[in-house]
Chain A
């Protein structure tokens, strides 16, 4: 197999019996053998079980046809997501030797849909501290240039999908941990509406802002993965007790008539993104207009107003998660996460409550602005990936985040690749929709990708 296909293309080929799940798995394993030593995308491989599953899928599909578009599709899971029988370490010494005894909800759902897991993917320590060079395993590296950062915390998922080791994978997003790696690795990645995908079996970082979602090569692939993961799970108290919406059937309906609000001040005034990122957003706006959408500028509260309560809640909740471990085995953490978490001691109950009050106000202001538009368009990242050895571990404390606002509001937000910048690395746009309108975000992202045209994978 010369090129790794998208999930949608592979599903069509498998259904038509032009592609064997065994052949597809072997192609992905070939990519792992070629790139893992440099990219460090995986922390645990489960290849024998994957090949056996592919053989079983092949026999079943030949007999009965595929269960659906994920049947026989190679995927993998971030190492904060439990896969029964495999270690869940969060890439931390704290959880050395921890082996999951049951599957996370998202793992079970993707497996029931026929997806085949190749193993566990590198994460920043406990989905927050990185890139760290003092953990049991090294940080993932960017397939577009291994000297550069993947962003995080779903760093291994970004590296593995971009390099064709897998066709899609799980990420988690508390402040941008799906959308950041998707942006810097040239992928699509969606943080769904809060409550759409259960977090059961996923190690928390900050319960009120944690989301689980997919990264994949295209928005269409994200839709297929998200559809299979979505739906209520009573074991997660943050899971919404409502039916999962249809995220797939309207994917090709285009954007004609949609109102797209460009949040220009986010990326032009509140922070300064790279020229290529700005050009990518402007080009995306023109594409949406050409496709029949109505474009207008939208003003939201400044990024800094989201940043302060967002960081307060992230730190306060993470301190509650990690306090017992910090007190018992503080030296076992990597330096970056340990020092970030220690700062949680400065967050008081008064700060948490004030942050929640601000959060409610901000969510109301965004909801009011979105009565006039169906989608928001802005940047997903400041620009191309920096060198991995030049990442400021305190950047999140110095500069407002472009992604964090939508963790606070809980609305769906998605990164899509907008091409390559001057350094030959990806730049990205971010689209956000109203809560529970994930399908609209995916539809717009798909329409944009169709108009933008296909991208070559790194090294292709």
Chain B
């Protein structure tokens, strides 16, 4: 098994060059803040509806 990489861009098959890494630094920090808010915002008891049962009526 190949060694897992810590870098999410490389893991996704999209390694960044140095210039991209610099330009994306601040936007990535902004996004990380939003993602942290999402991860922390959903309580453990919050139900998830990812797939609507086929018999259910929309909406």
Q: Which residues of A contact B (CB under 8 A)?
A: 193-195, 240-242, 304-305, 307-309, 311-312, 315, 323, 326-327, 330, 339-340, 342-347, 350-351, 353-358, 360-361, 394, 397-398, 410, 435-436
B47 touches A357 (CB 8 A): yes
B59 touches A240 (CB 8 A): yes
A354 touches B39 (CB 8 A): yes
Question: Within the complex, what minimum Cβ distance (angstroms) separates B46 from chain A?
Answer: 4
Question: CA–CA, A410 to B50, complex, Å?
Answer: 15
Question: CA–CA, A326 to B12, complex, Å?
Answer: 10
Assess A312 versus B42: contact at CB under 8 Å? Given A342-B24, A345-B12, A394-B30: no
User: Within 8 Å CB of A342, what residues of B?
Assistant: 9, 14, 16, 20, 24
Verify if B49 is at the interface (C-beta below 8 Å from A): yes
Instruction: Type the 1/0 row for B27-39, where 1 means its CB is closer than 8 Å to any CB of A.
Output: 1101110110111
Tell me the nearest residue of chain B to A313, going by C-beta: B38
The 4 closest A-B pairs by CB, nearest first: A345-B12, A354-B42, A357-B46, A357-B42
Query: Is chain A's binding surface mostly helix, strand, loop or mixed?
Result: helix
B31 touches A397 (CB 8 A): yes
Tell me the nearest residue of chain A to B50, going by C-beta: A356
Q: Can you offer 23 A-B residue contacts whose CB atoms are under 8 A?
A: A194-B59, A304-B37, A308-B38, A309-B38, A311-B34, A323-B12, A339-B23, A339-B27, A340-B27, A342-B16, A345-B8, A345-B9, A345-B14, A346-B8, A351-B35, A353-B48, A353-B50, A354-B38, A358-B42, A360-B46, A361-B42, A361-B46, A397-B31
User: Within 8 Å CB of B12, what residues of A?
Assistant: 323, 344-345
User: Within 8 Å CB of B20, what residues of A?
Assistant: 339, 342
User: Within 8 Å CB of A326, what residues of B?
Assistant: 14
Contact partner, A360, options B11, B24, B48, Cβ 8 Å: B48
Verify if B6 is at the interface (C-beta below 8 Å from A): no
New contact pairs (12) apart from A339-B27, A358-B38, A360-B46, CB-CB < 8 Å: A193-B59, A311-B31, A339-B24, A342-B14, A342-B24, A346-B31, A354-B39, A356-B49, A356-B50, A360-B47, A361-B42, A410-B59
